[in-house]
Amino acid sequence: MAIFLDTGDVDEIERFLRMGLVRGVTTNPTILLRDGVHGGLPAIAERARAIAKLIAPWPLSVEVTTAEPAMIRDQARTIASWADNMVVKVTVHGPEGELAPLEVVHELETRHGIRVNVTAMMSAQQAFLAAMAGASYVSIFGGRVNNMGYNACGEITKLRALLDRFGLRGQIIVGSTREVLNVVEWLEAGAHIVTVVPELLRGMLVHPYSKETVRQFLRDAAESEGRRPEDRPVRPEDRPAR
């Protein structure tokens, strides 16, 4: 699966789909609010359906907006009904450490056939337990782990070894990606998927030395054809934004 785009911006998703780089999309209430989704669950539903249709059959993760167990169940069923490729995000525990969310995760996966992405985890032990509960995806916030003074790679490697050893089907998603370096090192450490914001994906692709090399190629090609480099046709997408 490799890379999921962490955004609610349809234009950005379309851009990277055209490049063949998107294997899924993840969102959360913070991302959707930042990307202009206001109006609660109805507004989230409208944006989610549009994204799900755009990326199908790749998965789209949408998070519940409550920590109350009964409401998590209700919202999860609602979210799952929006499209066949929906995945419901549920936090590993409540805001004060309440354990009920993981009980709901187990119920959703084993009784209702709803795929769940357990999120907001900071350690291999949390993610291992979420995988034991039946979660389809277990999300570690690698950037925040690093900010706490630990190396997320160690947690990812330990977790992947545990999942493989005990035959657990949960796939490791590592998010909270802060640097281009994180993507490859986390995949190398054992993550199945790393989530990236559009700006970071652009940073992975565009390299200053590549730009310099392309410019040199174009200068030399222009010279060999007896024209100035600035005479080359300018495509609309190359024009500076106004």
Among all residues, which ones are annotated catalytic?
89
Residues 188, 194, 198, 199, Cα dihedral to 10°: -50
For 37, other C-beta atoms within 10 Å of its C-beta total 19
Q: Tally the residues of the chain.
A: 242
The single-letter code of the amino acid at 103 is E
Identify whether the C-beta of residue 6 lies closer than 8 Å to the C-beta of residue 173: no
**Cα separation, 177 vs 73, whole angstroms:** 29
Residues 6+ apart with CB under 8 A from 58: 22, 23, 24, 25, 85
From 118, 123, 61, 62, select the one nearest 94 (Cα to Cα): 118
Q: How far apart are the first and last CA of the chain?
A: 36
Residue 89 CA to residue 175 CA, distance in Å, equals 13
Pairwise CA distance, residues 158 & 112, whole Å: 30
Residue type, 59: P
